[in-house]
Amino acid sequence: MIGQLNVPQLPLALRWPRRQRFEHFHDGSNAATVAAVRELAMTHGTPWLNLSGPAGSGKSHLLMAACQVASAAGRTVQYLPLGAIGQRAAAIRGVAGSELLALDDLGAIAGDREAEHALFDVYNQSRAEGLAMLFAAEAIPSQLGLGLPDLRSRLGACQQAVLKPLDDAERRAVLKGQAAGRGIELDDTVLDWLFARYARDLGALLDLLDKLDQASLAAQRRITVPFLRGFLKDQG
């Protein structure tokens, strides 16, 4: 749900993607950060949190998971993907007053004077009203290129957490486990071929597994290197 952006309201059960839940986040070395995000979502008065980390580290996943948990607990929540919307200043002001406000891709407003001032105002309003905010970006606030010094200072005062992507061994283990849960055997030869040629972002790999599951069932074939090669070729 995105405040005042003319997005149709979805039933609560469908509003937050099912895969973007805490139970589907693979912590790796990020267990303490995941616990801090969950506490912020569930507990009033918890320190605000700024997540940073490279693409594919799970920032958006955790923001949406926090919104889902807080919403299920009866709190008003908003998730705003700043990099995917226009009129950012109006959008930021439009979500003010939410009990939990999760702002994703903060770097998208860098250099946008109106949007930066809007966030500064909403930040101060949320503090005054005892609400909660959760932020995410690829870099820490001081490295985002924000032009408003007071905004950099406010964001820098939040609790900071750097998300570390899963390493190859961890991603392979997750993919094998997810496949086994579907009754699919992914042997090491298949994984070696896949990891050498396909994006290693875990979300992208799990999306691929969904498609491979459907394709292998339709073709009544095991997932082998020739099957995988042909499938990816057909996908373009």
Give per-residue pLDDT as tens, 82-95: 999 989 999 999 99
14 has a pLDDT exceeding 70: no
Name the pLDDT band for 181 (thresholds 50, 70, 90): confident
pLDDT at 193 over 80: yes
DSSP 84-148: G-S-HHHHHHHTTT-SEEEEE-GGGGTT-HHHHHHHHHHHHHHHHHT-EEEEEESS-GGGS--S-
SS3 73: coil
In this model, does residue 188 exceed pLDDT 70? yes
Q: Give 232 or 122, the one with higher predicted confidence.
A: 122
- Binned at pLDDT 50, 70 and 90, residue 5 comes out as very low
* pLDDT tops 50 at residue 10: no
- List pLDDT tens digits, range 125-148: 999 999 999 999 999 999 999 999
pLDDT of residue 235: 82
Mean pLDDT calculated for residue range 17-45: 89
Distance CA 35, CA 236 (A): 39
pLDDT the model gives residue 129: 96
Looking at residues 173-192, what average pLDDT do you find?
89
The confidence score (pLDDT) of residue 178 equals: 86
pLDDT of residue 102: 96
Q: pLDDT digit string (tens) for 59-81?
A: 999 999 999 999 999 999 999 99
What's the confidence (pLDDT) of residue 16? Answer: 59
- CA distances (Å), 1 to each of 21, 108, 116, in order? 16, 19, 22
pTM score of the predicted model: 0.81
Helices (H), the chain: 12-15, 31-42, 59-72, 88-94, 113-129, 149-156, 168-181, 188-197, 202-219, 225-234
Mean residue pLDDT across the chain: 88
Checking if the pLDDT of 115 tops 80, the result is yes
